[in-house]
């Protein structure tokens, strides 16, 4: 009741001023449209200056601007009008109409090659899909915008803003998938860029989203710290929508801290503002929080009115996550009223919607990750071809130089000239070897990647969300490690062992985690200073799994140990209790489909190249393990590598 009275009082007090303000705005906008159509600037981002940012243009004025721009064939004016119409419809939660306007604007951008505005339209469409919890389309559009923006070699201020918006939106998508670390990483990247371009509105949005992450993690002090930073910036730029968003966030935290009166003060302030904007999304969110506070303070009659109104709005406009919150709040309210049956019905419906939404989102997330890996595989193949072309070019250049220098040598019979030629030849050979190593490092086994992702997908299909998220995080770390080490010549033993541990945990999924993997490093061995080629141990672990243990029954075990055997050598042993090499070879011969593995041969070549810089050479020895009766009990691979 207090909320309604305060709103009516504010409405009566401001109605006269609003009428005069609207009349003045209409006159100003009419002049702005005339001036714009007369001057017709080709920079989209300068159009807003004619209308004080364009926020005061009415729907009718925007439609008039579009019609007149179309008659004059003024493309920028058409795009500007369409995008603002789309934003107004989005604010009112009329998402289908919003998409139609933004897609028409995007078509004009594509037809006329407006790169900067093209990126802006992609982000605007992505935001509309995100409001509808359509994660697949939202992610596609924001990633497309981010990709286009990063291709621009000399980014403008607007390009940087677009990159930041894409990062922020992708962060929100990760947040909705409960990928909190990934979300925070995107928000911090976006915030850094907004600080660089000194965009206070963008900073306010990012601080708000960083606060959301901390609230999800129940770090309420950090959440409030970031919410207040955002609110301070929104007050500076007088952003009504920003104030509504921030105060809703602050109220949510205060309710969780049981500070109900403080929360209710904020909600009383922003509800009239949300009504004045006719923003159905934040009207529903504010009503939901008001009903929550009233439930906590036992104002049950008003609580049920506000929560049911929030549920009605979210159901009508398909705002899933607020709809789920409203259902949970109604379940809590009915429980307090002693209406057990109704409480259970609301709770059951909330859990059902949450399960469907979260399951669908995670499934989309995994499929999108598969697409990314597929794209990365194609990029890697392109790099391999590019490096092979460079190798061929160098080989041709070397052959040409050999011929020239040979002719000169034969003509002059000069030992000195031959020495120069020899040095040049060795230098060229070194370049070729280095490029061959880079070409090798860019190749990844697609079977492992897709098999691993399909294994994780089974967890999602079986609704094992915790396992899915756990192994998805491990898999993303493994892929990141592999991509990082592909750029370097060597890594530390500690880094290599960490990557192998991740690899084993992913491979072990397909064996129902039945393989026990043990790592032992001698205490006297400093694994941080020992260098070796990246991913050099992976082929041996892969052989141990697929040739030694895959056909074995009972306990399966792999032990990886490392120790220093002399001042200049370390020894790495990989021991499995599998079926042995002889039996593995017999099984391989009996298979109808045979595939030649070149992983070990390539690893030997890499070790040979790596050890050329050391006085000692590497050694690789296989030991067939047997019991007292001569039966095979496994295989031990002994690899000795020189120390730098």
Query: Would the pLDDT of 18 be above 80?
Result: no
pLDDT score of 224 = 93
Other residues' Cβ atoms within 10 Å of the Cβ of residue 52: 13
DSSP structural state of residue 464: -
d(CA 361, CA 465): 11
Query: Would the pLDDT of 278 be above 50?
Result: yes
Mean pLDDT score, 621-634: 90
pLDDT score of 4 = 43
Reported as a single tens digit per residue, the pLDDT across 321-364 is 888 888 999 988 898 888 888 888 988 888 888 777 665 555 55
| Residue 34 Cα distances to 28, 40, 75, 313, angstroms | 10, 10, 16, 39
pLDDT score of 50 = 83
User: Between 92 and 309, where is the model more confident?
Assistant: 309
pLDDT score of 535 = 86
Could you tell me if residue 526 is left (phi over 0), alpha (psi between -120 and 50 degrees) or otherwise beta? beta
Reported as a single tens digit per residue, the pLDDT across 194-209 is 888 888 988 998 999 9
Cβ atoms of 44 and 74 closer than 8 Å: no
Q: In the chain, what percentage of residues exceed pLDDT 70?
A: 84
d(CA 434, CA 488): 11
Could you tell me if residue 352 is left (phi over 0), alpha (psi between -120 and 50 degrees) or otherwise beta? alpha
The DSSP annotation for 32-61 comes to: HHHHHHHH--S-GGGGGGGGTTTTT--HHH
**Predicted confidence band at 466 (pLDDT cuts at 50, 70, 90)?**
confident
pLDDT score of 430 = 64
111: tokens are 């037809």
The helix/strand/coil state of 188 is helix
Cβ atoms of 381 and 389 closer than 8 Å: no
The length of the chain, given as a count of residues: 644
Other residues' Cβ atoms within 10 Å of the Cβ of residue 520: 11
| Residue 250 Cα distances to 23, 220, 288, angstroms | 36, 10, 14
User: Between 250 and 54, where is the model more confident?
Assistant: 250
Report which of 319, 327, 330 is spatially closest to residue 352, judged by C-alpha positions: 327
Query: Would the pLDDT of 588 be above 70?
Result: yes
The helix/strand/coil state of 521 is strand
Reported as a single tens digit per residue, the pLDDT across 548-573 is 898 888 899 999 999 999 888 999 99
What does DSSP say about strands 569-576 and 632-642: parallel, antiparallel, or unpaired? Answer: antiparallel
**Domain range summary for the chain, segments of one domain joined by +:** 360-487, 515-642
Domain 515-642 has CATH 3.30.565.10: yes
d(CA 21, CA 534): 68
d(CA 583, CA 550): 12
Largest Cα–Cα distance in the chain? Answer: 107
Residue with tokens 């009516």: 8
d(CA 292, CA 295): 5
Reported as a single tens digit per residue, the pLDDT across 226-243 is 999 999 999 999 989 899
pLDDT score of 395 = 79
The helix/strand/coil state of 217 is coil
Query: Would the pLDDT of 315 be above 80?
Result: yes
Report which of 78, 49, 41 is spatially closest to residue 62, judged by C-alpha positions: 78
pLDDT score of 302 = 93
Cβ atoms of 75 and 108 closer than 8 Å: yes
Mean pLDDT score, 24-38: 78
Report which of 497, 503, 495, 551 is spatially closest to residue 521, judged by C-alpha positions: 497
User: Residue 55: CB partners within 8 Å, gap ≥ 6?
Assistant: none
Other residues' Cβ atoms within 10 Å of the Cβ of residue 636: 16
Taking the alpha carbons at both ends of the chain, their separation in whole angstroms is 79
The DSSP annotation for 106-166 comes to: HHHHHHHT-HHHHHHHHHHHHHHHHHTT-HHHHHHHHHHHHHHHHH-SS--HHHHHHHHHH
Mean pLDDT score, 575-602: 74
Which uninterrupted H or E stretch holds 562? strand 556-566
d(CA 549, CA 544): 6
Mean pLDDT score, 493-498: 93
d(CA 567, CA 259): 66
pLDDT score of 372 = 54
pLDDT score of 582 = 87
117: tokens are 């505005």
DSSP structural state of residue 84: H
Q: What are phi and psi of 374, to 5 degrees?
A: -60, -45
Reported as a single tens digit per residue, the pLDDT across 402-420 is 888 888 888 787 777 777 7
Cβ atoms of 148 and 115 closer than 8 Å: yes
d(CA 503, CA 485): 14
pTM: 0.51
d(CA 623, CA 548): 13
Residue with tokens 């074995």: 552
d(CA 143, CA 170): 8
| Residue 194 Cα distances to 52, 164, 188, 354, angstroms | 22, 7, 10, 33
What is the residue-averaged pLDDT of the chain?
Answer: 82
Report which of 324, 256, 254, 319 is spatially closest to residue 283, judged by C-alpha positions: 319
Query: Would the pLDDT of 384 be above 80?
Result: no
Query: Would the pLDDT of 119 be above 50?
Result: yes
């Amino acid at each position: 009741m207090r909320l309604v009275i305060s709103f009516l009082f504010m409405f009566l007090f401001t109605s006269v001023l609003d009428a005069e303000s609207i009349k003045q705005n209409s006159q100003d906008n009419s002049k702005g449209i005339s001036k714009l159509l007369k001057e017709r600037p080709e920079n989209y981002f300068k159009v807003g200056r004619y209308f004080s940012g364009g926020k005061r243009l009415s729907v009718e004025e925007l439609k008039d601007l579009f019609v007149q721009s179309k008659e004059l064939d003024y493309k920028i004016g058409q795009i500007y009008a369409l995008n603002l119409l789309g934003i107004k419809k989005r604010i009112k939660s009329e998402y289908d109409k919003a998409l139609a306007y933004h897609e028409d604007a995007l078509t004009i951008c594509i037809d006329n090659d407006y790169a900067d505005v093209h990126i802006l339209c992609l982000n605007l469409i992505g935001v509309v899909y995100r409001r509808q919890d359509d994660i697949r389309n939202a992610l596609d559009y924001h990633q497309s915008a981010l990709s286009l923006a990063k291709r621009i070699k000399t980014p403008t201020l607007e390009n940087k803003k677009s990159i930041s918006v894409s990062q922020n939106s992708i962060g929100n998508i990760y947040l909705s998938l409960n990928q909190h670390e990934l979300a925070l990483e995107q928000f911090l990247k976006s915030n850094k860029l907004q600080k660089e371009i000194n965009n206070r509105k963008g900073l306010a949005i990012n601080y708000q989203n960083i606060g959301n992450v901390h609230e999800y993690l129940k770090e309420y002090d950090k959440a409030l710290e970031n919410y207040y930073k955002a609110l301070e910036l929104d007050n500076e730029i007088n952003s009504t929508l920003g104030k509504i968003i921030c105060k809703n966030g602050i109220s949510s935290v205060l309710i969780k801290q049981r500070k109900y009166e403080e929360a209710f003060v904020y909600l009383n302030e922003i509800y009239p503002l949300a009504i004045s904007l006719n923003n159905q999304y934040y009207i529903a969110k504010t009503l939901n929080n008001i009903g929550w506070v009233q439930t906590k303070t036992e104002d049950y009659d008003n609580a049920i009115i506000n929560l049911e109104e929030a549920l009605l709005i979210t159901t009508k406009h398909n705002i899933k996550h607020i709809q789920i919150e409203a259902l949970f709040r109604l379940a809590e309210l009915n429980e307090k009223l002693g209406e057990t049956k109704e409480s259970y019905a609301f709770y059951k419906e909330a859990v059902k919607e949450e399960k469907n939404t979260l399951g669908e989102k995670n499934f989309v997330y995994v499929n999108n990750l598969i697409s990314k890996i597929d794209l990365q595989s194609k990029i890697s193949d392109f790099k391999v071809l590019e490096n092979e072309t460079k190798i061929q070019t160098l080989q041709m250049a070397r052959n040409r130089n050999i011929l020239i220098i040979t002719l000169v040598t034969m003509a002059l019979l000069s030992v000195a000239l031959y020495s120069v030629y020899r040095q040049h030849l060795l230098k060229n050979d070194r370049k070729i070897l280095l490029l061959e190593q880079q070409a090798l490092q860019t190749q990844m086994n697609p079977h492992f990647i897709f098999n691993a992702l399909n294994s994780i997908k089974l967890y999602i299909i079986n609704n094992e969300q915790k396992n899915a998220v756990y192994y998805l995080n491990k898999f993303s770390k493994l892929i990141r490690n592999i991509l990082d080490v592909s750029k370097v010549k060597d890594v530390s033993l500690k880094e290599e062992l960490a990557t192998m541990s991740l690899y084993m945990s992913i491979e072990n999924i397909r064996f129902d985690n039945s393989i026990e993997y043990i790592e032992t490093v001698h205490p006297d061995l400093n694994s941080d200073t020992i260098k070796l080629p990246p991913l050099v141990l992976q082929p041996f672990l892969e052989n141990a799994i697929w040739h030694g243990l895959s056909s074995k029954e009972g306990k399966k075990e792999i032990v990886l140990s490392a120790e220093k055997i002399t001042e200049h050598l370390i020894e790495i042993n990989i021991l499995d209790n599998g079926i042995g090499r002889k039996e593995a070879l017999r099984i391989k011969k009996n298979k109808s489909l045979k595939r030649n593995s070149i992983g070990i041969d390539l690893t030997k070549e890499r070790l040979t190249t790596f050890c050329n810089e050391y006085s000692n050479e590497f050694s690789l020895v296989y030991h067939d393990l047997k019991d007292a009766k001569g039966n095979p009990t496994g295989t031990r691979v002994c690899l000795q590598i020189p120390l730098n």
